[in-house]
Amino acid sequence: MQIPDPSVLPLQNYGRVIRLIMDLRDKGINDTAVLSAIERVPREIFVPQQMLDQAYEDIALPIGRGQTISQPLVVATMTEALAVGDRDKVLEIGTGSGYQAAILSKLCRRLYTIERHKPLLENAQQVFDELKLRNITAICGDGMRGWPVINGISQAPFQRIIVTAAARGKPPQELLDQLDQGGIMVCPVGESSDDQVLKKYQKLSDDTYSISDICPVRFVPLLPDVARDA
């Protein structure tokens, strides 16, 4: 994927960004830190070249491998529900284009992200490097197992976990186990794309959670293992 130089992005995009921010506010996004992060991350760098004219529309766009970059309202809603602090360590399951990760990187101390499609991960890493997002660590792996122990070092627990694919019934236990006590996980849940609900889990103890519904959503299913195209 060819990445435009962010230092020479068209000035007209600024007007499109501002319209998007105003639209998100009208649709109920009130967290100024979240809106600021969205304003500062150039979405056009994360979308396919042939869809640049739609980069700031409030719609999901295909990015290949049967995956999408989520619509800005969904990104904003999930980010706002996470309530990320600047000292938080965040785990993201499903790097995709890298757009959600880039937004979160503006809000947290450190972001760890897992993608099962290696080509998507490579594209996302290229964008992270281009934007000089130094607090993101990205790997190709099975996100349903959580963040692996690497060189004898475990990064768990995480204060926040975000899952950008739909789990059946509930999030995988391995992810719940990696959530810090008092931490928050945001994850879409549903048996099919027609009955998915974005849910917020707050860990009260090792086996007790406060669970609340946020809104209906439509995500690709959460799948195990590394994809064959990796």
Q: Is 13's pLDDT higher than 90?
A: no
pTM for the full model? 0.93
Average pLDDT over residues 123-137: 97
Residue tagged 């319209």 (tokens): 19
Kindly state the percentage of the chain with pLDDT values over 90: 86
Determine the distance from the C-alpha atom of residue 57 to the mean position of all C-alpha atoms in its chain, rounded to a whole number: 18
CA angle 81, 227, 94 (to 5 degrees): 10
Amino acid at 223: L
Q: Can you list the domains of the chain with their CATH numbers?
A: 10-216 (3.40.50.150)
Query: Which DSSP string corresponds to 7-44?
Result: GG--THHHHHHHHHHHHHHHTT---HHHHHHHHHS-GG
Question: Average pLDDT, stretch 184-210?
Answer: 94
Is residue 134 pLDDT above 70, yes or no?
yes
Return the residue matching tokens 């979308």: 47
Closest CA to 70 of 108, 110, 111, 101: 101
The pLDDT assigned to 45 comes to: 94
Task: Output phi, psi for 5, to 5 deg.
Answer: -70, 120
The whole-number pLDDT of residue 14 equals 80
Q: Is 19 helix (H, G, I), strand (E, B) or coil?
A: helix
229 versus 164: the higher-pLDDT residue is 164
* Of 172, 226, 176, residue with least CA distance to 205: 176
The string of DSSP codes covering 59-77 is: S-EEEETTEEEPPHHHHHH
For position 12, what pLDDT does the model report? 61
Residue 192: what pLDDT? 82
> 129 is written with which tokens?
């490097």
Q: Evaluate if residue 229 carries a pLDDT over 70.
A: no
As a whole number of angstroms, the longest Cα–Cα distance in the chain is 51
**What pLDDT does residue 194 have?**
84
pLDDT per residue over 153-188, tens digit each?
999 999 999 999 999 999 999 999 999 999 999 999
- How high is the pLDDT of residue 1? 45
Instruction: Give residue-wise pLDDT tens across range 18-55.
Output: 999 999 999 999 999 999 999 999 999 999 989 999 99
User: Per-residue pLDDT tens for 59-107?
Assistant: 999 998 889 999 999 999 999 999 999 999 999 999 999 999 999 999 9
Classify strands 158-163 and 89-93 as parallel, antiparallel or unpaired. parallel
- pLDDT at position 66, please? 85
| DSSP string computed for 95-140 | -TTSHHHHHHHTTSSEEEEEES-HHHHHHHHHHHHHTT-TTEEEEE
Active site residues: 70
